[in-house]
Every structure is written in structure tokens, then in C-alpha cells.
Amino acid sequence: MPQIIPIKDLKNTSRISDLCHNSEEPIYITKNGYGDMVLMSMDVYEQNMKQLNFYRELEISERQIQEGKTKDARKSSESIKEQYGS
């Protein structure tokens, strides 16, 4: 379950850092009762970015398949062998 804390709690940086590192989800910061910011550890951020990039690459691949921009793996492999030797 996501953690939601008010912006005034950011004064206690050690506690916030601990929260970020002990949670595998982002921490939502509110200001005047409304969503304002999101905090997360570097590990969680990097994991999220890797996942986002993976999905982005999948989307590109799906589009290329739909557009017929694919090659037969065996033919490609043979072409590479011919070009660079076996």
C-alpha cells in the first residue's frame, strides 16, 4: 500500500530516507491535502526505469512486427556468417 505523507514531514530527512529505502514503492508527498511530489530510493527509481525502457522496446518491436519490418532469423544468421565468416 502506498505511503502518503504531508510535505511538512520532509524536515526529518533521515526518517524520509529510511522510508524510501525500506519501501519498494514510491512515497507520495501532499501539500495542503493535495498530491504534490513523489519520492523513491535510487534502487526503486532505476528498477522502474529499466522496466519502463523494457516496455518501450517491446512496444517498438510490436509496431515493427505489425508494419512487417521483420527478418527471418535463419536468413539473418546465414547473412552474418557469409559476411563475417563462420
C-alpha cell read off for 75 = 536468413
Count the neighbouring beta carbons within 10 Å of the beta carbon of residue 1: 5
Local confidence band at 20 (pLDDT 50, 70, 90 cut-offs): very high
Average pLDDT over all residues of the chain: 92
pLDDT at 86: 66
Local confidence band at 85 (pLDDT 50, 70, 90 cut-offs): confident
Judged against a pLDDT cut of 70, whether residue 68 lies above it is answered with: yes
pTM for the predicted model, two decimal places: 0.69
C-alpha cell read off for 15 = 526518517
With beta carbons less than 8 A apart as the criterion, state whether 3 and 25 touch. Answer: yes
Domains of the chain: residue spans and CATH:
3-70 (3.40.1620.10)
